[in-house]
Structure formats: C-alpha cells, structure tokens
Amino acid sequence: MNFLLEPLSIVTFFPLLGVLVLLFLKPEQKNALRWTALLTSLVTFFISLWAFFFSGLYNPANGGLQLVARYDWINVAGWQIRYYLAADGLSILLILLTTFITPLAILSTWTAVEERVKDFMLFFLLLEVGMTGVFVAQDLFLFYIFWEFTLVPMYFLIGIWGGPRRLYAAVKFFLYTMAGSILMLLAILWLGINGGTFSVPDLVAQGNIPANAQTWLFLAFAAAFAIKVPMWPLHSWLPDAHVEAPTAGSVILAGVLLKMGTYGFLRFNLPLFPQAAVQFAPLIGWLAVIGILYGAAVSFAQKDVKKLVAYSSVSHLGFVMLGLFALNAQGVAGAILQMVNHGLSTGALFLLVGMIYEQTHTRDIPVYGGLWKITPIFGTVMLIVSLSSMGLPGLNGFVGEFTILLGAFGAGMQGGVFAGAGGFWLAGLAAVGVILAAIYILYMFQKMFLGPAGEVTHHHELKDLNWREIVTLLPILVFIFWIGLYPKPFFDLMMPAIENLLVPFQTILMAAH
C-alpha cells in the first residue's frame, strides 16, 4: 500500500475519502453533503499546497520530475505498465489550479443545485480525482485511464443537471472526446509495445522514435488533445457543452478540462515527438491564429452570454496553442500561465453568469442592461473579470497574452519555428485578437451592465452578491491581481522545466538553419 502514501497519490485520491463519506449520508441531508464535498476539496487543496510548498519535498528550482511515485503495476508479455505519478514545473500550476477551482465550483452550487445533491457531489469529487490524475500521471497507460475517467462524471454532470438540451450536449461531448481518444490509445499502444515501457520519461529518454513514425504518432495524440482544447475547427462540441452544463460544470470544463488538451500537447507531443512538433508548429500556429480571430468574431455575434464566453474560450485557447508551438521560452511560459489565467478568468465569468442566471433564468444578453446600477458589487467584479479576460495590463490575462505574443513574434524571427511560414504575420494577426477581444467583452459588459435598465429588471428583484458568492469569487480576484502585478513567482515555478523541455528544439532548429 506504499503507493497510496506518496504525496501525489494523496493529492489525487483524497477526494475518494470524501466520496466514501458521501456514500454514508442520506440524500436528504443536503447541507451535510455540500459541506462534506466542500471540506474534502478544500483539504485536497491544502494538501496540494503542502505537498508542493511546505513539505520540503518539492524543489521549484529543479526542472525535473519530482514527488515521484513509481511502482510496477502490470507486467504482462513484455508490457511495462507502471503506477507512475510525478510533477514538475509544467504541471504544478495546473494541479494547483484543479484543486483550487474545485472547491470554488462546489461552493457555487450551494443554492444552484437542489436536486440529487448527493449524486452531484459524488460525481464532482470523482471528477476531481480524474483531473488531478491526468496532470500527475507519467505513465501513458495510467494517463489514458485518468483521461477517459474524467469523461464519465462530466457526462453525468451535463446530462443530469444541465439545461434543456443536456442529453444532446452530454452525448456530443462524450462521443467527440472519445473519438479523439481512440487514436491516442492506438498511438499509446504503439509506443508502449515498441518502447517496451509506457513511462513517458523513459520514452523521452530513449528518444529513438523514427521521424515518419513521429509524424503519425504526433497526429494521433494531437487528435485527442486538439478536440479537447478545442482547436479550431474542432470546437463544435464546446458551445453545446458549455451552454447546457450546470454552472459548476461549465466552470470546471473551462477551468480545467480544456487545459487537459493543452497540457497533453505540452507533456506528450512536444517532448516525445520533437521533430514532428517542429514540422507541425506552423500548421498549428495558423490554426491557433484562426481560432483566436474566429472565436473572437463569433463571440461578438452571440446573444447567449454563456455561448459568448464559450466561444471566447476558443479564442483564448488559440493563444495558448500559439504560445506552446512558438517553441521558445516566452511562448511556452506564457502559454502555461495563460492556461491558468483562462481557468481563473473564464471560470469566474461562468460563475458570475451562473449567479445572475440563478436569479433571472435567462442568458439572453439583450434582455439585460443597466445591471451595474442595480447590483454594484456584482458589476464591479464582472468588470474586473471581464478586463482580465480581455487582457488589461495589470491583470492576469495580459501577462499571459503578452508573453505568448512576444514568444510567437520571436518565433517568426529567423531561426524560429514560424520563420518560414508567415513569420511576423502570425503574431501580428494574433495581436489583432487583442482588439477583437476588447470588442466582444465590452459588447457583453455594455449590453448587460451599462445602459438603461433592461427588460429583465422589470420582472425580477435582482439581488447583489451575497457573502457566499463573494467568498467564492474573492480568491479568484486575488489571483487575478496577483498574477497581473507580480507574476514572477509563477514563472519561477515553471521556468526550469521549460528550459529542459526546450533543449531538443534548440538543437533541431539550429540544425535546420
């Protein structure tokens, strides 16, 4: 049982204890159920903080994998499948983001979810296990299990507590993700059989995947991850899932699940298939830029505020992909930070939309208007979060977007990955996305919060944020300002790992020129 006492195992599986407690509670004890889930997720968060910062087991200056838990698991017919958990600078922020967002999402369901609370909380905690698992697993097989495992609770969260078209959305979400995962599974099997091990660090160290195999494997992995991100044009499931999911589901979906896709690129595609990554970088860069502009434009035309935020995710994650495949320090660091930023800002946007939806039961932007006057605190928080989402300097979104664009621009210089494929145009067009982001965000903010009081205010006595809602949002606001004003600690956490990650690319690019 040693493997369960490793710090990362505890972080990953602690929510299962909460699940156990939940099983013994009666479905009618709604508050007890909520408190159990909340406390479990909070404790998980504190354990993760402890593991990384206070246990002394994790050294941020070290770029390699740490907190390693490595045990033989399945050894059949020459297959080396391990129970292998570890964290490094690439994943630490995402692990913390997961454990940080989950309690907030649970807190947001306090009054929003009244039906089948027990099942809801069960699925939610299970989802947390899956998500954390994805970010800590270092064995392809284990990773795949966690990856697929997250689908199940999310499927039920959308399918049971979702909006009117929840079944359609849930099934679409499930099928879409599965379709990509199948290809990834084949690639994983190929890697495992050929390499004799499923452990990613071992495979990376072997580094002997032939170039033409890299191409296919890269594409197979990319299929799964690009759908999850989602990269344009594979984003069609996202608006459905976001719109139909319950608030907490949308928060988790935007906050963490989408990051699993970008993280997958970062953790698997880049180190395992460096040649293919360089080869495909311009293609992915252009798709990302199209996604940025397309997502921003489509957002602007939405009447449904949740859809607007959903499409804005397409745009934001386009930035992340652009940064990742700029394959330089600025781009990758910015991309990782932007993953966190998007989790915070878009998560907060969904929380806020959920809070107003709870009162008015409509997401139609035109029926709102003048809310800032009626609910000043709500309006102010919304303003800050919106500004963070559109990348106002001094708030978190800017730091991410700026470093990504800087990286992408640098990749367009001679010797960079985009040099022969558009060069500065990639970053230049992506920067246009900054303008378009302002347009759709301000459109939303104006139509909902400014202007004369809208139709919806005639029918509803709108209440401002209550204490629970403020407590839900406050931690996010703290991070919005913290990352915006002093992002250095966050970059310091990831830089050593990024430097390690980029070493092979420097040699490849050097050889190309």
Where along the sequence are the contacts to other proteins (CB under 8 A)? 172, 233, 236, 239-240, 294, 297-298, 300-302, 311, 328-330, 333-334, 370, 372-373, 387, 392-394, 398-399, 402-403, 405-406, 409-410, 413, 427-428, 431-432, 434-435, 438-439, 442-443, 446, 449-453, 486-488, 491-492, 495
Kindly state the smallest distance separating residue 379's Cβ from other proteins, in Å: 10
- Nearest CB to other proteins, comparing residues 146 and 398: 398
Nearer to other proteins, 24 or 467 (CB): 467
Please report the DSSP string for 166-223 in residue order: HHHHHHHHHHHHHHHHHHHHHHHHHHHHHHS--BHHHHHHH----HHHHHHHHHHHHH
Find out whether 103 and 42 touch, Cβ atoms under 8 Å: yes
Question: Nearest distance from residue 302's CB to other proteins, in Å?
Answer: 6
Cβ 23 to other proteins shortest distance, Å: 25
Omega within 30 of 0 (cis) for the link into 233: yes
Q: Which is nearer to other proteins, 279 or 380 (CB)?
A: 380
Looking at the Cβ atoms of 103 and 410, the one nearer to other proteins is 410
Distances (CA, A) of 406 to 270, 427, 479: 20, 8, 23
Residue 384 beta carbon to other proteins: minimum distance, rounded to whole angstroms? 10
Q: Which C-beta is closer to other proteins: that of 57 or that of 450?
A: 450
Q: Which two tokens stand for residue 311?
A: 């499409």
Residue 301 or 471: the one with the smaller Cβ distance to other proteins is 301
First to last CA, the chain: 52
Smallest distance from other proteins to CB 450, Å: 4
For other proteins, the closer of residues 141 and 300 by Cβ is 300
Q: Is 248 or 332 the residue whose CB approaches other proteins more closely?
A: 332
The rounded distance, in Å, linking the Cα atoms of 481 and 77 is 53
State which residue, 29 or 380, has the beta carbon closest to other proteins.
380
Four-residue CA torsion sign, 286, 487, 351, 92? positive
Shortest reach from residue 505's CB to other proteins, in Å: 13
Q: How far is the CB of 425 from other proteins (least distance, A)?
A: 11
Contact 293, 373 (CB under 8 A): no
Please, is 16 exposed, middle or buried when counting C-beta atoms within 10 Å of its C-beta (0-12, 13-18, 19+)?
middle
Nearest approach, Cβ of residue 8 and other proteins (Å) = 27
- We find the least distance from the C-beta atom of residue 31 to other proteins, in angstroms, to be 31
Phi and psi for 296 in degrees, rounded to 5? -65, -45
Q: How far is the CB of 240 from other proteins (least distance, A)?
A: 8
Closest distance to other proteins from the beta carbon of 189 (Å): 25
CB environment 249-287: b (16+ within 10 A), e (fewer) = bbbbbbbbbbbbbbbbbbbbbbbbbbbbbbbbbbebbbb
Which one, 288 or 405, has the nearer CB to other proteins?
405
Residues whose CB is less than 8 angstroms from the CB of residue 209 and which lie 6 or more positions away in sequence, other chains included: 191, 194, 203, 217, 272, 273
Question: For residues 49 and 442, which CB has a smaller minimum distance to other proteins in the complex?
Answer: 442
**Cα-based distances in Å from 339 to 176, 243, 271, 374, 439:** 22, 21, 19, 33, 22
Three-state DSSP state, 80: strand
Supply 152's token pair: 């199940």
DSSP state of 231: P
User: What is the closest distance, in whole angstroms, from the C-beta atom of residue 93 to other proteins in the complex?
Assistant: 14
Query: Which residue, 271 or 370, is less far from other proteins as judged by CB?
Result: 370
Measured from the CB atom, the residue of 41 and 262 that comes closer to other proteins is 262
Neighbours of 26 (CB within 10 A): 9
User: Bridge-partner residues for 66, per DSSP?
Assistant: 87
d(CA 366, CA 81) in angstroms, rounded, equals 54
> Are the CB atoms for 326 and 417 separated by under 8 Å?
yes
Q: Give least dist CB 387 to other proteins, A.
A: 7
**CA-to-CA distance for 378 and 35, rounded, in angstroms?**
25
Sorted by sequence, the CB contacts under 8 Å of residue 256 that are 6+ apart come out as 94, 97, 98, 101, 131, 343
